[in-house]
Amino acid sequence: MPERPPIEFVVAPSEAGERLDHLVATQACSSRSAARRVIDAGQVRVNGRLAKKGLAVRAGDRITVAEPPPDAEALRPLPEPLQPLVVLHADDLLIALDKPPGVPIHPLQPGERGTLAGALVARFPECRLVGDDPREAGFLHRLDIDTSGVVLAARTQEAWTMLRSAFREGRVTKEYLALCAGRVDGEAVIDAPLAHDPCDHRRVIGVADPALARRLDARAATTRLRALDGSDEMTLLAVTIATGRMHQIRAHLAHAGHALVGDALYGGPPALPDAPGHFLHAVRIVCPHPSGGEVAITAPLPVARAVALARLGLTYSSVARPVSIRR
């Protein structure tokens, strides 16, 4: 698909005060998340200077977008009936899937195949029109490509709106299994704002200095750790987060000097044999159900990762009930 030509426009008086990412998305007929990505990649300038996605623009500002994001509709996932799909739970409003490692949640380029979204809309076609980003296919949150485990999607726009609010308000608890470098004992809390790394747009970094955090537009994030088993070389952790910042667990562990095994982007040690990618598994999620009450869903550790842990002599307790709904 041909690249879109650069965009250049001047902020009108009626647009003064809008966020830069919102205005770029509007002008490019794209999604706000796609606009944020091109801003973070240094493709957007305001009056000739690089700017942050949260900048409040002023009337008369000249904005140039060197590589505009794809048209939003072109990113809507195509049904892929042959793509595997493991459904942990499905009712009229909510779907829980077991994402394998190495599979992206949704497309980043028009026509991209091999995504979980493509498999989802093939089986649940109503999801294709749910969400505020055409590529979302009803998904309520994301997992990095190498992360495995529970991921949720809504089947109606009303359920999606309600659950997205629950995520934003911290009413959703996500639990992970993480294998990190070095020894970690007992329990710990990592409370460090996260900001995009100014030297590498692919990464985020923990920022301890308050002044630097403000300058980099860092966002609050808290990660709770509990050591399950380990050695001097590596430790298996139970990790809990209520926020869901980009790369939160990966960046926080690296910030603490215990990067994930297999996480080359954050300086982690090499991946385990036969278990490629960074070792992170979303084992359990607890959230409000759109019809009332609470739902808790768990996903088993992928076989290759379970075997890799067994070879290291590391153990963990699995959860007996994969789905629990309390009204």
**Which residues does the annotation mark as catalytic?**
144
Which amino acid, residue 192? A
Q: List, in order, residues 6 or more apart from 110 with CB less than 8 Å away.
A: 1, 70, 71, 74, 75
Question: Is residue 217 within 8 Å of 54, Cβ to Cβ?
Answer: yes
Is 137 in contact with 131 (CB distance < 8 Å)?
Answer: yes
Is the Cα dihedral 276, 277, 279, 283 positive or negative?
Answer: negative
CA 140 to chain centre: 10
At a CB cut-off of 8 Å and minimum separation 6, what does 214 contact? none
Separation CA 118–CA 80 (nearest Å): 5
